[in-house]
Structure formats: C-alpha cells, structure tokens
Chains A and B, each alone.
Chain A
Amino acid sequence: MRLTVVYLLLLFALPGLGQEKRTAAPKRSLSLYLGGGAAWETYRDRAMSPLLYEGIQGAAMLGFDIQGAKMLHRVEGRFWAGETSAQRRGGTTENLAFAVNGSHLKRLSAADAPWQWRAGPAVLVWGSLRYHTGLVNSNYFYDLFGSVGPSGSVERSIKMLRRRWTAGWQMSVPVFSWGLRPTYSGLVAATPEEELTAAPYLEEARFGAFKVLTGVQSRLHLRYPLPNENALMLVYHWDVFSSRLGHHPVTHAMNGLQLNLSIKLSR
C-alpha cells in the first residue's frame, strides 16, 4: 500500500519535470491536469429495465488547457467505473463510462474584466457500458454518443486566505449528435466469431439534431494556486443526457467531485 502511494505521488509529480524556468511571458500556456474522485451515477435504460439504477463510481480525470491571449482550448476526459443497483428491488450491474469534452472558447470580456466570459464550439462524447449480472445473453447494454454544440464559461478571480483563487463554470450542450444503442432485443443473429462484423451492432445508430440526444455537461471548479503557476483544482461535474434513439429510451446522469493537480507547462 505504501509503495502504491509513492508510485502515485511520483506519477503525479512526473509532469512537473516538463516544466521550464520562466524567462518571458509565453504567448500560450499549456496546463496539464489529472486527478481522481468519486461520482454518483443514476440511469434508467429501458432496454434493460424500467427501474432507476444508482450507485457510487470511482472517477478519474485527465485533461489539458491551452490558453492564449484570447482563446482557451480545453480538452478533458473523465472515466468512471463501479456498480449500480435498483433500490433493492432489481439486479446489480457493473458499469464503465466515460465522457470527453473538447472546447475551443474565445474570450468575450475585456482582458482586465473581473468576470471572464468565454464561448465557442465544443465536441462532446459520452459512452457507457453496463453488464447486468442477473440477465442472460442480452446482459450487456451500452450507449455511445458524439455531439457538437455550443459551450460557454465564466471565470472570476477571488482573493481568499491570502491567495488568489479562481472560481469558474463551464457548460456545454449537444446539438448535432450521432448515437449508438443496443439492438432491439440486445442480440444479433448467431454467427461464428470470425465472421462477426460490426454491422448488426450498428442497427440502432442514428445521426440527427436534438432528437437523438439532449443533455448537458456542466463543470464547476475552484483553483487553488501552487508555486510555479501550478494549481490544485476541486471540480464538480454534472453530466446528464437523455436519448430516445431506437426503441428503448435511456437517461443517464453523473454527479462527480474530483480533486485535480494542474501542472503548467510553458511553450
């Protein structure tokens, strides 16, 4: 256990080796962040059950910000794993899920304005896989959605405890989406493994605006500055989406709290 902690600390410290001594203000700065935490997952997948499934998930996060004078390019991936159950009435599922948000935000406020507003396009991806331990054959249920849509953020610097903290909120919504859901019965015709292709699994895949997917990715963060412009970030994520793609609707929500270490790498 102690060795694991040492390895984890080393892993967290490694990106710092890439830091250069600051000689002049860079035109763009790159911050890499990674961290972990927990999330509360809630979903109702009518392909599997009419019941609401809930459970705590382990969470990990990896991302980076490239910040220029007027733009902020942010890419982050969040990953979850854990179990859910249906309020003691139904079965248990083992779950894996991820969400990716890549946004290109342009600053709308003046450089010295206290509230820094940004807006721009974003690419959103959600994916989840659940394995129901009490069903047979059709016991894997999944969804995969890729979307483009608008994203907006606001940040404000706050002086607190003799440090300059930053609080911020970013929200993104899908507009044009592609989605994939399980086939109607959760089965494809039995074919020898070597002849199985992806085609039958893509039966319930569609592209469209709004009707395929409605959802929100919301990110609230509080940054605590560390030396060398590094930071600790407390991040609250809320991911929710709902889809009526195919015959079975699905709604999925993830509320997560994570602690990230942000390493600033100049370029």
Chain B
Amino acid sequence: MKRTGIFLLLAVQALLFSACEKSFFEPDPADDPVSNFDALWREIDQGYSFFEFKNVNWDSTYHVYRGRVNSGTGTLALFNVMSDMLYTLRDGHVNLEAGFNRSRNWEWYLDHPDNYDANLIERNYFEDRQWYTGPLIHTIIDSIGYLRYGSFGQRFSEAQLDLVVARFSPLKGIIIDVRSNGGGFSSMTDLLASRFADQRRTTYFSVVKNGPGRNDFSAPVEVSIIPGGERQFTKPIIILTNRRSYSATTFFVAKMLALPHVRVVGDWTGGGAGTPVGAELPNGWTVRYSSTQTFLPDGFNIEHGTPPHIRIDMSEADRAQGKDSILERALAELR
C-alpha cells in the first residue's frame, strides 16, 4: 500500500504540474464577425508594404467597412465586406481564402489589351517544329531563337536550360516570350536570367517589412544578376511582355533590364513586385498580402510593372492575317 502511495504521490505531483499548462497559453481569440474583421484589418495594417506607394488611407478604410459588420453578420456577408476592403489595395497579391471562395483584384490586367494569343503562335510560327524541354518551349524562326516560358511555377533543370542556350548559341538573337506568365518561383528567375548575364550586375533593391509600423522596413538589399551555367548567351535578346506578366515575371524582367544587350517589347508587365506572405484569421480563413517592395537602381518602384523599351499592342489587322504584332516587331528588331 505504501509503495503504491509513493508512486501515486510522484505521479499526481508531476501530472498536477503539467495541468498548469494552460497558464502558459493565451486564451483563444474570439471567433465572431467583428473580431475576424478586426483581425484582418490589423494583419494588413501591420504587415502590408504598399500603403504609402499606393496612397491608401487604411485607417479611413477601416471606418468605411467596419460599419458594415456587426455580431449578426453572416459568413458570406462577412466575406464580401472583407473582400471589398481588400480590393481597395489594388493588388493582385492580396487574396482572402475562405474555402468556399477567394477574393481577388485582377484590374492589373483586365483593363489592358490581352496582347497574347497562344493558338496564333502555335499555328503560324511553330509549324510543329518546336521542342518541349520541360516547361521550356523553343524553336528557331528566321535564324532567331524563340523561347516560350509560360509559368515560373513550372520548374526546369539547369541541364534543360543549358540545352536551350546551346541550341541558340550560333544564332544572332533570342526572343524570350514571357507574356501571360503569371509568376511562380523566384529561384527560377535567377536561374533563367543567369544564362544571359555577361557579368555580375546590380538589378534591383528589395526591402522587407520588419515591424508593425507603416514604415518599418529592412535596409535595402542589393539583388544582382550573376552569370551561370556552361555558357551564357550575350548577343541581342528581346523579351516579350504583356500585363499578365506578373509577380516573378516582373522580377525576371527587372533582372534582365540590367543587361545592356536586352530590350523589352510589348506592354508593361503587370507588376506584383511585393513578395506575398500569408496569415490566418481566428475563423481559419487565410489572407495573402504583399510584404516587400522592389526598386530599380534609379529608385523606380516596380509594383505596377516594368516599362517596355518598345511599347506596342497586338493589332486586330495583324491578328486577322495570322500575325503576332509584338513578335513581328521583335523579329524585325533582331534581323
């Protein structure tokens, strides 16, 4: 009996101690419409990076939308109010994900010409001679290399990229078509750009939100383009862009703009130069928002896109003749 008591004494003492566990934890956050609305507003308030650049008065935004939420607001109505509030940020990297729907703002390309027709290129330029090297589609048009990369979210290997560069190395120029490339992995932009760099060059500067204050940012970090791979193609290169060239594609173009043998033809890229981060709300919904800013060496903020050297849209007349005006202009520049 005594021995059992001793063991029980030790066990109860240790277990009682661990029962104090709750005292280490903060209480659960309230999960009601007002609390969730406030949590979303606060998360953006303390983490979003473009209030000043976009001239958004987030404090007044709170008062405008907070009035539409009360303790009886339903799930769908709450989602709509929150979506409307986030819409004012005019940012393709801002989304509220509720499981049943995702809020978004696609003004950055909807209000602009499409400027890309995949079928037209496949039918009239590829003529079934294109190679598919992973996600890299490439062919030779009139002694000019044409490389199509549709998404930085699709990874390719160094060997695959080196093969493309080797194929193009005897040619007098390359066209890199990243129109309607909506972005993806930043590491892919480094890899792709490395095969076209003649030397290390400064491309842009990046600052990261590092505190809850509106202007709490890290010191600017210099980002460089560095030559890589078996060989680099340093003859003339033209990049084709449209407004759907977004996020990582904007970073890629910004890197390539540092190279003297690169020009950009088409429309501005769509921007999206704030790296997005995510957070959770008390009701389990997640929000994604931009948390960095990116500046070209001359101080130009590329959140709204990078400008082309030659601004041109696809014309309907060309399209009717089976021609891509932007691609034709690039070919003419390189011939």
Contact = CB atoms under 8 A, between A and B. Distances in A.
A135 B284 CA distance: 12
Interface stretch (A9-17, A19-27, A156-164): A156-164
Given A135-B286, A238-B17, A251-B26, A187 B211 contact: no
Interface residues of A, number: 60
Interface in A104-154: 132, 134-139, 154
B282 A50 contact: yes
A51 B21 contact: no
A1 to B, nearest CB: 35
Contacts of A185: 47, 208-210, 277, 291-292
Nearest to B216: A184
A4 interface: no
B288 interface: yes
Interface in B260-294: 275-284, 286, 288, 291-292
A227 interface: no
Nearest to B282: A50
Nearest to B212: A247
B18 A255 contact: yes
Nearest to A171: B17
B262 to A, nearest CB: 18
A63 interface: no
A112 to B, nearest CB: 17
A32 interface: no
B14 interface: yes
B39 A193 contact: no
B282 A51 contact: yes
Contacts of B64: none
Interface in B159-204: 186-187, 190
B278 A192 contact: no
Interface in B8-50: 10-11, 13-15, 17-18, 21, 24-26, 28-29, 31, 39, 47
Interface of B: 3-4, 6-7, 10-11, 13-15, 17-18, 21, 24-26, 28-29, 31, 39, 47, 97, 186-187, 190, 206-212, 216, 218, 220-221, 223-224, 226, 251, 275-284, 286, 288, 291-292
Interface of A: 42, 44, 48-52, 86, 88-91, 132, 134-139, 154, 156, 158-160, 165, 167-169, 171, 183-195, 200, 203, 214-216, 218, 220, 222, 236, 238, 240-242, 247, 249, 251, 253, 255
19 contacts: A48-B280, A50-B29, A50-B280, A51-B280, A135-B280, A137-B278, A138-B278, A138-B291, A154-B10, A158-B7, A159-B3, A184-B211, A185-B292, A187-B275, A189-B208, A189-B220, A190-B206, A240-B24, A255-B18
